Structures are given as C-alpha cells and as structure tokens.
C-alpha cells in the first residue's frame, strides 16, 4: 500500500514530524474520550490523536499512524482510501463519517421494543444508495408470543430479497446461521436502542476477544465511552461493529427525488412512469403506483415511502 492512494500528506513536514516512511498501519476500532483506539497488525491497541485538518476518521478506517517519541501513543497521519462509508449529519449541517469499509449492514429489530418499520426502510434506503448489502436480524425471538406471526411481518422484505435471520441472543437460537452470514464480512449492527445489538455481539465473540470495557483496560486508556461504535475482530476473519442506538446513519445525503431508488422493488418500475419527474405519489401514469395496485409492490412499503418523502421535505427534520 506504500505510496498508493495517499491523500492529505503534509507538503512540508515540520521539524520533528516522523517521515511517512516510518508510519505504521492500523485499524481504527473505536473513538475514546481522549482519542482514537487504533489496532496494530500484531494486535496491540494504541491511543492516537489525529493530525490537524485530517478530516473525519471513523471506526473501520485503515490508517497510517506515527508513534510518539515515547512510543506510548500515536498520531494518525493518513486515512487510506475507503471502500464504503456510512454518514450521518454532524454539527452545523456538516456530514460525519461514522463507519468505514463495511460490506454488510445488519439491521437488528426485536418484538420488544417493537420494530420501527420506517426506520428499517430508512436504513435499507441508505444501504441501496451506498450499495452495501443489507440483512435483517429479528432478535429476541424467544419473546415473540406467536413466532410465525412475528416473522410474517417480515414477508415484504423477504419477497424483495433481504435475508432475515430469526435469532435469540439469550437462548442461543439461530446463532450458527448468523455466524455463517457474518463470516468473512465487515459488518455493522444497526437498530433501535435496546433491540440487543451488544448482546448479540457478545454472544458472537469468543472469550478471548475484546469486550468494550477491556479496550480501555488493555490499552490503559481509561474509561470507554459507551456511546461509541466499536469494532470487534471475528474469529474466522472479517469484523463486526456494534453501534450505539440509532444514531449511526440517516438519510442525510438522499434527496426527495432520489428516494424511490432506495426502495429496491421500485427500481424496475421507475423508468416506466409517464413523467420523468414522477414522484410516485398520485402522479398520472405512475408505474410504481401500478405496481402497488397489481400486487408487485407491498402497499405498506409504498406508504412508508410516502412518509419518508414527507420527512425529507421538512427542512427542519433532525435525522437520527
Ligand atoms: N429476552 C431476550 N432479551 C434480550 C435478548 N437479547 C438482548 N436482550 C435484552 O435486551 C436488552 C437490551 O440489550 P442490548 O444488547 O443492550 O441492546 P442494544 O441494541 O445494544 O442497545 P443500545 O446499545 O442502547 O443501542 C438487555 O436487557 C438484554 O438483556 C434476547 O435474545 N432475548
Ligand atoms: Mg449496545
Ligand atoms: Zn411514478
């Protein structure tokens, strides 16, 4: 990777700044109160600050970092090119990268708290735009009074090709299949607070793997902020990011006129609408509406599309 895709390299390194040839590779595994936790290829964890004006550095980023003179800490000098990223709105209208280099998003839902289907659609739309395959985990299946009924609610998603994994972190149900789906991928768990993302993560990790609290312990970095997304290495390759609540990604970058593309079952219809600027609401000759009427598109999904469209049109919408 040396010299390849190098961005933001300092033009005139200051005296005392280690030269790029001494930079080391690392993987950002969490944001701590005092800086970034960066994992080295040999499994050490170093607390790093970031070089000024480097821009966002996110969990999952592969970076080049320079050790400090005492060798205890480091400074991230460069972020290597990303294969993908998830973004959310930050302060002052700026966008913030929250996770990088993912190739799977697992949306976690549960019977309690009950699924927020609008949020599920929102996540799926973002994944369509970012071209990251998404899957759905139905956790706490042990709590579902009628399992078949609970899973039937997901039929609309199964029909359009989203894999659904019914599991229970507590009872260990469905975990073998879930492990298989995660195997070798760089994945993130996203979903409402309390659906069991951290419980699942803990169940999936072997004893020797890092747990949230241990990152601070092993690296002597002090308390870990419980609000931070954290990356864990999966025993057979790939990694998993456990994220806090829903604040991981929003529709920040999607414009109203593009939202229909985020509904994958609309895609084949969109080009057949009578008008190029069809909004797929009540427009004349709308092929998406026809799809709803003839049963090719689930009415519930189309209704939620209308709701999200509405949300996008509100200038003061605060995206979670
Ligand atoms: N019955 C049951 N409870 C579960 C299961 N998985 C998790 N829980 C419980 O659900 C609650 C929330 O679990 P967490 O793992 O903290 O949820 P989370 O999604 O990480 O929540 P945030 O970190 O706030 O986003 C805890 O009380 C867990 O014990 C399950 O499979 N069955
Ligand atoms: Mg959690
Ligand atoms: Zn249309």
pLDDT tens per residue across span 287-309: 999 999 999 999 999 999 999 99
Using left for φ > 0, alpha for ψ between -120 and 50, and beta otherwise, residue 262 falls in: alpha
Domains defined for the chain, CATH in brackets: 20-79 (2.40.50.140), 102-242 (3.40.50.300), 256-313 (1.10.40.50)
What are 16-56's pLDDT values in tens digits?
566 788 899 999 999 887 899 999 999 899 999 999 889 89
Q: Which residues pair with 239 in a beta bridge?
A: 186, 233
pLDDT of 6 reads 39
Split at pLDDT 50, 70, 90, the class of 207 is low
pLDDT of 229 reads 85
Q: Could you give the dihedral angle defined by the CA atoms of residues 245, 248, 253 and 255, in that order, rounded to the nearest 10 degrees?
A: -20
- Tell whether 280 is in a known binding site: yes
Give φ, ψ of 283 to 5 degrees. -65, 145
Residues with CB under 5 A from ligand 2 (ion): 197-198
Residues with CB under 5 A from ligand 3 (ion): 273, 278, 280, 286, 288
Contact 105, 85 (CB under 8 A): no
64 CA → ligand 1 middle, Å = 35
Of 86, 133, 132, 115, the residue nearest 229 (C-alpha) = 86
For the CA of 196, the nearest ligand: 1
Cβ-in-10-Å burial (0-12, 13-18, 19+) of 129 comes to: middle
195 CA → ligand 2 middle, Å = 8
For the CA of 113, the nearest ligand: 1
Per-residue DSSP letter, 260: G
Q: What is the DSSP string of 118-139?
A: HHHHHHHHHHHHHT--EEEEE-
What are 128-172's pLDDT values in tens digits?
998 999 999 999 999 998 999 989 989 999 999 999 999 999 999
97 SS3 class: strand
Reported pTM: 0.88
Q: Is the pLDDT of residue 222 over 50?
A: no
């Amino acid at each position: 990777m040396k010299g390849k895709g190098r961005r933001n390299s300092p033009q005139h390194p200051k005296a005392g700044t280690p030269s790029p040839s001494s930079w080391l590779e690392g993987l950002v595994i969490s944001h701590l109160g005092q800086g970034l936790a960066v994992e080295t290829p040999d499994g050490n964890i170093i607390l790093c600050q970031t070089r000024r004006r480097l821009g966002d550095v996110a969990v999952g980023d592969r970076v080049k970092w320079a050790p400090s003179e005492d060798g205890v800490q480091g400074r991230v000098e460069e972020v290597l090119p990303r294969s993908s990223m998830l973004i959310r709105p930050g302060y002052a209208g700026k966008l913030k990268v929250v996770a990088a280099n993912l190739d799977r998003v697992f949306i976690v839902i549960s019977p309690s708290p009950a699924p927020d289907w609008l949020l599920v659609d929102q996540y799926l739309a973002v994944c369509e735009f970012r071209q990251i395959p998404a899957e759905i985990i139905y956790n706490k299946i042990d709590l579902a009074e009628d399992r078949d009924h609970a899973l039937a609610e997901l039929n609309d998603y199964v029909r359009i090709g989203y894999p659904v994994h019914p599991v229970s972190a507590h009872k260990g149900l469905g975990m073998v299949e879930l492990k298989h789906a995660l195997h070798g991928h760089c994945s993130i768990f996203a979903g409402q607070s309390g659906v069991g993302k951290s419980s699942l993560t803990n169940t999936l990790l072997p004893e020797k793997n890092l747990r949230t609290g241990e990152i601070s312990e092993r690296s002597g970095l002090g308390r870990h902020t419980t609000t931070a997304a954290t990356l864990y290495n999966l025993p057979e390759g790939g990694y998993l990011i456990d994220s806090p609540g829903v604040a991981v990604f929003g529709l920040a970058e999607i414009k109203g006129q593009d939202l229909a593309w985020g509904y994958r079952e609309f895609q084949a219809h969109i080009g057949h609408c009578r008008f190029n600027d069809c909004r797929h609401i009540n427009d004349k000759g709308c092929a998406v509406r026809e799809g709803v009427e003839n049963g090719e598109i689930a009415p519930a999904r189309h209704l939620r599309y209308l709701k999200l469209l509405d949300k996008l049109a509100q200038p003061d919408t605060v995206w979670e």
